[in-house]
């Protein structure tokens, strides 16, 4: 069976259209000035289809002079396709994507190759990226949907196999990839939630309880027994959550991601829309928009959010205090706590009371809150966990 599959992969061929129907890549990726005339002559010779061996050699010479000549790389891949050298074409197109990640020609052909090889996870990713650059053809849409279904099936099966073999890190990785793909389709996301519920009650959690102290596999997280909960909560952002927890100094984007991840109900509490000018490259854009709209974190006067700026303990505490009010937590009945470094009766003093009164955060040994100091991701996560427990008690 393995030999048969390998043979089929070797025989993968791409049905190429008539050469005159192919787009000239130089329209998207202009040739360098010094090579324009050479390229134009070679393109015409390529379209004639009468001298491919010599045309290949001439393009190879151009690429030796300028390896970053994207148009030449694409035409060279065309020649590989017509010559039945799919592996060579694939290698060249991967180079194109490394330079131009959104190139539709490279994405389309690489998606087709992955689909024909049966690498449906890769095909799903490529069809998704292609869809962001242009509308998919009907055949591409069909293959993209089929790839998604088969990729999900494969990843979930691999995860279950890894669980059975106690390869817990691999199981987490497969489920994480499945979650990432499943969010492309609402129905699949729902089905995957059912699968993860199975994992939570009888699969991964059981496997974790059987794990021996001498197991040499890499730990899934600081608290292994929390993995099903974390995986279900964070999905494709699980790696970012690990980075948050390991952070020595929490940033504003990490804080936003933490709040949105632990308290998804915030998405329905937004009261204001605000355009932020500096968050487009952040992994936490939806979370940032959620917490700003809810009024938990404020933007700056120039409509920036400063996602990578470190959060102070004072800023963190104020946001948590606001959150307790939004979530309907009753005021603490304990006596007021008076930090040595906070003015009695000040606004900050009042904001700190629910945070300190419920033990969500604590003072240092000298009785200071250290308002201007940074805080670790571990402390931020612990605070979020304590607030969740507090909410459960209030609603219980």
Q: What is the CATH number of the domain that holds 91?
A: 1.25.40
Task: Output the pLDDT for position 195.
Answer: 46
Residue 92 lies in a domain: yes
Confidence of residue 170 (pLDDT cuts 50, 70, 90): confident
Domain end residue (candidates: 86, 117, 148): 117
- DSSP SS3 for 310: strand
How many angstroms separate the Cα of 100 from the Cα of each of 86, 96, 129, 133, 307?
20, 6, 12, 12, 27
Q: Which domain holds residue 31?
A: 2-117
**Greater pLDDT, 17 or 237:** 17
Distance between CA atoms of residues 367 and 362, nearest Å: 9
195 located within any domain = no
The percent of residues in the chain predicted with pLDDT above 70, rounded, is 82
- Position 178 in a domain: no
Query: Tens of pLDDT along 182-216?
Result: 655 544 444 444 444 444 444 444 333 333 333 33
Q: Does residue 25 form part of some domain? A: yes
Q: What 3-state class would DSSP assign to 45?
A: helix
Do the domain assignments include residue 212? no
Looking at residue 103, its pLDDT comes to 92
CB contact at 8 A, 333 and 353: no
**Cα 332 from Cα 323, distance rounded (Å):** 14
Q: What tens digit of pLDDT does each residue of 25-59 get?
A: 999 899 999 999 999 999 999 999 888 999 999 99
| Mean pLDDT of the region 113-125 | 90
* pTM of the model as a whole: 0.49
**Whether the predicted pLDDT of 308 surpasses 90:** yes
Decide if pLDDT at 223 tops 70. no
Q: What is the mean pLDDT of residues 146-159?
A: 84
- Nearest CA-CA partner of 195 in 144, 156, 148, 145: 156
- Neighbouring residues of 16: CB distance < 8 A, sequence distance ≥ 6: 22, 78, 81, 82
Tell the residue number behind the tokens 């992955």, with chain if given.
114
Nearest C-alpha neighbor of 62 from the set 52, 73, 54 = 73
Q: pLDDT of 75-94, one tens digit each?
A: 999 999 999 899 999 999 99
What is the count of structural domains for the chain?
A: 2
Among residues 90, 117, 144, which one ends one of the domains? 117
How far, rounded to the nearest angstrom, does the alpha carbon of residue 237 sit from its chain's CA centroid? 6
What pLDDT sits at residue 17?
84
pLDDT band at 177 (very low <50, low <70, confident <90, very high): confident
237 falls in which pLDDT band (50, 70, 90)?
confident
pLDDT in tens, 89-118: 999 999 999 889 889 999 999 999 999 888
> Among 58-62, 137-141, 207-211, which stretch is predicted with the lowest mean pLDDT?
207-211
Domain membership of residue 34 (yes or no) is yes
pLDDT of 47:
94
Distances 157 to 151, 154, 189, 195, 298 between C-alpha atoms, Å: 10, 5, 16, 11, 44
Q: Is 372 inside any structural domain?
A: yes
| Average pLDDT value for the chain | 82
Instruction: For residue 180, count CB atoms less than 10 angstroms from its CB and return exposed for 0-12, middle for 13-18, buried for 19 or more.
Output: middle
Indicate if the pLDDT at residue 394 is higher than 80: no
Task: Examine the pLDDT at 232 and tell me if it is beyond 50.
Answer: yes
For the chain, what is the largest distance between any 2 Cα atoms, rounded to a whole number of angstroms?
Answer: 91
Whether residue 15 is predicted with pLDDT greater than 80 in this model: the reply is no
Boundary-marking domain end, from 117, 139, 160 = 117
* Rounded CA separation 109/151 (Å): 19
Residue 154 lies in a domain: no
Looking at the fold, whether 252 and 106 belong to one and the same domain comes out as no
Query: What's the whole-number mean pLDDT along residues 166-179?
Result: 79
| pLDDT at residue 269, rounded to an integer | 84
Q: What is the pLDDT of residue 321?
A: 94
Mean pLDDT of 310-339: 92
pLDDT score, position 396: 57
């Amino acid at each position: 069976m393995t030999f048969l599959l390998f043979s089929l992969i070797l025989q993968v061929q791409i049905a190429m259209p008539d050469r005159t129907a192919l787009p000239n890549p130089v329209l998207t990726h202009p040739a360098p000035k010094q090579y324009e005339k050479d390229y134009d002559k070679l393109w015409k010779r390529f379209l004639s289809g009468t001298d491919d061996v010599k045309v290949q050699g001439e393009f190879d010479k151009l690429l030796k002079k300028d390896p970053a000549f994207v148009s030449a790389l694409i035409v060279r891949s065309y020649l590989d396709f017509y010559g039945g050298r799919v592996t060579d074409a694939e290698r060249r197109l991967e180079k194109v994507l490394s330079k131009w990640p959104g190139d539709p020609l490279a994405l389309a052909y690489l998606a087709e190759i992955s689909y024909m090889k049966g690498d449906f996870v890769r095909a799903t990713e490529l069809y998704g990226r292609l869809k962001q650059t242009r509308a998919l053809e009907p055949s591409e849409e069909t293959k993209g949907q089929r790839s998604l279904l088969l990729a999900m099936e494969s990843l979930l099966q691999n995860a279950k196999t890894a669980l059975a073999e106690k390869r817990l890190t691999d199981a987490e990785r497969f489920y994480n990839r499945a979650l990432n793909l499943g969010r492309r389709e609402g129905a699949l996301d729902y089905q995957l939630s059912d699968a993860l519920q199975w994992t939570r009650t009888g699969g991964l959690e059981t496997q974790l309880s059987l794990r021996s102290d001498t197991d040499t596999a890499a730990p899934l997280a600081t608290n292994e027994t929390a993995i099903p909960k974390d995986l279900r909560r964070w999905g494709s952002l699980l790696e970012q959550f690990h980075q948050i927890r390991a952070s020595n100094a929490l940033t504003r984007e990490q804080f936003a991601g933490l709040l949105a991840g632990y308290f998804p109900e915030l998405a329905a509490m937004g009261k204001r829309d605000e355009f932020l000018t500096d968050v487009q490259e952040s992994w936490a854009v939806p979370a940032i928009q959620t917490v700003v709209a809810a009024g938990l974190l404020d933007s700056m006067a120039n409509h920036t959010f400063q996602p990578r700026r470190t959060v102070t303990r004072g800023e963190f505490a104020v946001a948590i205090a606001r959150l307790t009010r939004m979530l309907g937590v009753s005021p603490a009945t304990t006596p007021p706590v008076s930090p040595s470094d906070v003015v009695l009766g000040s606004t900050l003093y009042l904001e700190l009371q629910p945070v300190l009164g419920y033990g969500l955060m604590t003072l240092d040994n000298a009785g200071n809150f250290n308002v201007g100091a940074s805080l670790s991701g571990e402390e931020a996560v612990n605070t979020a966990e304590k607030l969740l427990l507090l909410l459960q008690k209030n609603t219980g």
